[in-house]
Amino acid sequence: MGQVGYPSDWALGQASLDLRHLRTMNKADHTRLSKFLSLVLRHDPGSIGIELNAEGWTPISELIERSAAHGHRFDVETLRTIVKESDKQRFALSDDGTLIRANQGHSVRVELGYAPIKPPAQLFHGTAKRYVEAILEQGLIKGTRHHVHLSSEKETALKVGRRHGEPFIFIVHSGLMHDEGLDFFCSENGVWLTDHVPPRFLSLTT
């Protein structure tokens, strides 16, 4: 609820992208490539003919080759720059540097391999005003994603909420949830994940 699956302003039909051998990327190019990677690594790998393994990894060489075949050209160094400079660390490279995956946010079936971990006493979730009533009735649900996404910092949740409209922030009483046996996971980039947050564990904050 209040989370977006596919990047809302991206489509493969947009103008082709060629970022090979650029010394620097401007902000617009960085954003366009990041959104493209989010699409194919989280939601629709088949759109460019790649496959994700059970843990969400795909070979970098195949990603570059198949992306180029669909008009989106970039090299390994550009890809590494995106991974390193992503504001939310959305992507990860394997230890040997040959594979890439999204850290979370998938709508396709993958098993990211995160072990359950005890969360902080409180976490935060940012959303827009139009979702508040439904969240108060249903709690936070994962929708098409594998998990509900939560932040350890209120400011991060506020930024998320602003993406969707007038922001509202929920405090998630994650410590109490954990005490009742509900599992939490933490992705490589620090996003907290859980299956569902029932309404009784939520409080609106300003």
Per-residue pLDDT of 34-66, as tens digits, reads 889 988 988 888 899 988 888 889 999 999 999
At 106 the pLDDT is: 76
d(CA 140, CA 157): 14
Sign of the four-CA dihedral 58, 61, 29, 45: negative
At 37 the pLDDT is: 92
Helix ranges, the chain (H): 27-38, 60-69, 76-85, 129-138, 154-162, 174-179
At 160 the pLDDT is: 84
Question: Which numeric CATH code is attached to 17-102?
Answer: 1.10.10.970
At 20 the pLDDT is: 53
Residue ranges per domain, the chain?
A: 17-102, 123-205
Strand order through the sheet with 185-186: 148-150, 192-194, 185-186
At 177 the pLDDT is: 96
Q: Which residue has the higher pLDDT, 100 or 113?
A: 100
- Token look-up 């060629």 returns 18
In the numeric block, which tokens belong to residue 126?
């940012």
Q: Is the pLDDT of residue 119 over 90?
A: yes
d(CA 20, CA 126): 36
At 110 the pLDDT is: 67
Q: Minimal CA–CA distance to 81: which of 127, 22, 130?
A: 22
124 CA to centre of own chain: 16
Q: Do the first three CATH levels of 17-102 and 123-205 match, i.e. the same topology?
A: no
At 11 the pLDDT is: 42
Cβ neighbours around 92 below 10 Å, total: 19
CATH architecture of 123-205: Alpha-Beta Barrel (3.20)
Please report, for residues 127, 153, 170, 186, the alpha-carbon distance to residue 159 in angstroms, rounded to integers and kept in the order given: 9, 10, 13, 19
**Mean pLDDT value across the chain:** 83
Q: Is the pLDDT of residue 15 over 50?
A: no
Confidence of residue 98 (pLDDT cuts 50, 70, 90): very high
